[in-house]
Structure 1
Amino acid sequence: MGQETLELQFGVYTGEVVDGKPHGAGNVVFHTDDLGGRREFHGHWVNGRREGEGRMVWTTGEEYEGGWLNNLQQGKGRHSFPSGHYDEGEWDQGLRHGFAVYYHPNGNREEATYVEGYEEGDSTVYYASGKVEKRVYEKGELNGPAIISWQNGDTFEFSYVGGKMEGIGVFHSHTGITEQRSYIDGICHGPATLHTPQGDCEERMYEEGKLHGTATFTSHTGDKEERCYVSGRLDGSAKYYYKSGAVETRIYENGVLQGAAVKQNTNGEVEERNYSNGKLNGKATVIYPDSSKEMRTYKDNKLTGPATLFAASGERIEFEYLNGVVHGLAKIKGGGDIEECNYMDGVKHGKAIYHWKAGHKEEFVYDHGVKTGPATLVGASGAKRVGQLKNGKWHGEATYTAQDGEVRSEQWQNGKRIGGD
């Protein structure tokens, strides 16, 4: 046995030779017109055939390194590709057969089983991102149910048909949100339904993988909104139907509420308002059924700031909202009279002054909306009464000072004078 060079039918052999045949360690450089696209082989030979460990290189850049028998891959081996992909598995008579692991250069890894060269049965893909996909092969093609699981607890259940996602898929978020989607030829396309753990629901449409078209959102509160998606984002006009029966016409821009909106209540009340970055902000105008008009201010979805009510009766009320409730200083003007008072959580409370058009002035106290406590009434003539109010009426002892300076005592009961000087 010695090192020789042989001219073979398929190429040039250099290595150990016995009885004129490659036997032992040797290398072959294949002819450039080799029909199998083989370039070279380094490995072990038995009686002119590749047998034992060896490495084949093809002109495509692919390589196989592993076991050989009767010129075919046999046993454990590794097949690599110029793209950086490679698999490690079992071979039988030149075909992959048995368990194999396929590695991607991006860090993904797939574990599968081969039967006579085709993937068959269950497969698991471990993505570099941490997600895991379990799926099924039929003669090398993905067919049947599959599920993807993420590290945060999200899951996606769907089916492959002919190697592509097809039919209904259901996404389950770890937050409790679920979405049922439709897939056609591997792309999310058609009707979908989203459910939240609170009980909200949205009937929506996908087009070529993106939310697109009309959608109906139903809140667990009973409210409902008809809206539209454009290329994955809420966009354009929408109508919001409140459980109370009120209807609001609003506008979405790039996924958020923006600009002018109009809300109409069942009693005929109409409010013109504005959205900024998804929240009610800025000036708003309310027209009441009796034609009264209120100018108000929103801040981050809540009535907060100055407001003015022009009542149909002619009164003008200037006041403040705080987090949706009338709160703080207020001035009420009507028929020439003016009342200056304070609101606390929507109710008049604290000191107040009332100016009559005729020139009278009364200083008193509100206790949760009711005039109760010390009061002073000064007439236009200069006469003055100092005493107590109870439930809006003079009650108890009072001191009256006449215009000429005369002072006398009074007794009142529920607004009626019952005694005194």
Structure 2
Amino acid sequence: MGLNETQKKERSEYLDRNLEITECSQRKPYAFISYASDNWEAVFKTAVVPMQRQYGLRVYADKAFDKVNDKWIVPMLRNVRGANVIVAFVSQSYIESYACFLELLTAVNNRKQIVFVSLEDQLRLGDTTDLPVIERGAKNEIINQGANIATNTNNTSNDIMRAMKSAYTSLSTLLEQDALSKYDISDAFINFFRDASINRKTINDLGAVCRTIKSVSRNVFDKALTTEPAQKPASKPVPVETAEPIRQTEPAPAQTIEPAPVKQAEPAPAQASDLESVRQPDTASVQPVEMDSKADFSFSDSGPKTKRSLNVKLMGAIACAIVVVLVGLFVILGGAKNVTDMTYTTPGGVAGTYTGEWKKDQPEGQGTMTGSDGTVYTGEWKDGVLNGKGTATYANGDVYEGEWKDSLPNGQGTTTYANGNVYEGEWKDGLPNGQGTYTHANGAVYEGEHKDGLRDGQGTYTDADGNVWTSEWKDDKLNGQGIATYARGSTYEGEWKDDKRDGQGTYTGADGNVWTGEWKDDKLNGQGTATYANGSTYEGEWKDDKWNGQGTYTHADGTIESGTWVDGELNATLTLDDGVYTGAVSDGKPNGTGTMKYTNGRVYEGQWKDGLRSGQGTFTDTNGNVWTGEWKDNKLNGQGSVKYADGGTYEGGFADNVFSGQGSRTWDDGTKYTGEYKDGKFNGKGIITYKGGSTYEGEFIDGEKNGEGVYTKADGTVVNEKWDRGTKIS
């Protein structure tokens, strides 16, 4: 008997969504609902919730009872005392529930009116006016039970045993005084629960206590009721017979149960098979009726009238009384009506017109409100705000459909945004919180956890190109451990920070190359290892995805290069025949970037290949002239420049260290030649600008004027000239 953890959660969630709980601290009239947990769906879905919606019934219904919850007993006592009526939904589970037993006893001791509603096929009404007293043998038996509990102690339950011994000592005294009743048992065990709750570690050992209560109840009261009465009790009559202990210590395994949807329903009219009798209070006390599981309600027109036949005759009147009590209470607490285009402003300040169910000057039930900005809210209302299922169509075109709490999306819901994006999942206080799926209009999808409207927790994002990131998220960005699978076939598995690879991780390229190590700002920085598809490896330090620092490169053939690397090149110092080299080395030769200081004083700084100047570099000769440009096989080839020690310059093409192609040469006195070069000399068309301002434009051969040309003086005079290899003809 009892609910497992999944069922408890389902019950609690259903009551949170559908039932307004009133407590005595709220100083409002209410009915205390007493029920066995196994019957909660029949009680609330078919009776209590519909009656609350239809008539405004205020109720207190326990929704968090647990055998290890030491605070359960206190609110139960307080709220039974504060209730106007106790509605007990009776079934076989109810009869066997010790918790329900305590609720009824508390109600009787506080002189509360009790209305019994049967969940079984028949009413089982007994007569409480002529029950036997407990005989001596039963008294002795309960005393023995207490003694056994007190003596059979163990290391894990000493606290309980001591508490039980004290409780049974009190019971023994009552037995000897012929004053024992179920009221006394109730009080004794209430005190026991209070005492035991002081030491929380003992609560888990209540199984033995439960079994004892069950045994005592059966041994004492079941036997007492099978014995012919010797006399009527001198004091209080025995109330409703129930005697099952509280729920067992271990909960049942959790099951996945899909909650049934809540339906608005008219309460069914009271039937003789649905309601128990109401006993009206007298000047002394209000007593609930006794339930007799063996009661037979068949009768005939003849024969003596027994107490049972009397009960049957009273049944119709009792059922009618129940209807009067319940309906009267519900109607007194307020009714609902429908309104159309009612001007209304929510507690949050949203103004508009409302059409739907209305109660106590505010929306209550199904209804639609159109806000002043054009937003339309349709759904369930409670206390003047959206609570339950509903749909909002906002003025900007966004649409939310799902669960609400206090006029904010809370629970499961879907928003379709005006731009085509869709979020479906859990909400809290108006923002995505929990599991959900966000689908972008361009096809990108995020599925995972959210917090305050942002991706936060575990989740998977697939972009429109097919790249997939599965990782931890924080503040809407990749943060923590994750895996990226790129559409081109490469993958990264490791740590992320703000959407970038950061921390330890491994990148596997589509070509089979693998990089493992420390990452920062999306690049390898720190210690790492590269394993290339051709079989070579590098292990060492990295900076911005390049070998930088100490490291070892192992060629596929087993050759090893180890040392200090700069931008992917090994740096070393080589003493050669013509000088000393410092820089990148491969196969014992300058390869990469390095500096060569020749023995004759010349210096080259730049790129090398197989021991030769090759690539961009700068050469300073012994005269102080500086040659900069593209080098090949130790010579300038391509574009370059020369800065002479005397101040002259050259910019242009080179071929094997000599001027070639287009170029421009300036001398220290200001004379300048611009034109074609070959073999280091003027060859072809060119212009000489002299320091005085005059110019000559014409053809040249091997550095000499040749052929026709034009000489322009500084004053603008133009002279046509003709030359033959440096000799002026005319």
| Higher RCO (C-alpha 8 Å, min separation 6) | 2
For the aligned pair, the TM-score class normalised by the smaller chain equals 0.3 to 0.5
Structure having the higher helix fraction is 2
Q: Report which of the two structures shows the higher radius of gyration computed on alpha carbons.
A: 2
Structure having the higher strand fraction is 1
TM-score by length of 1: 0.47
TM-score by length of 2: 0.29
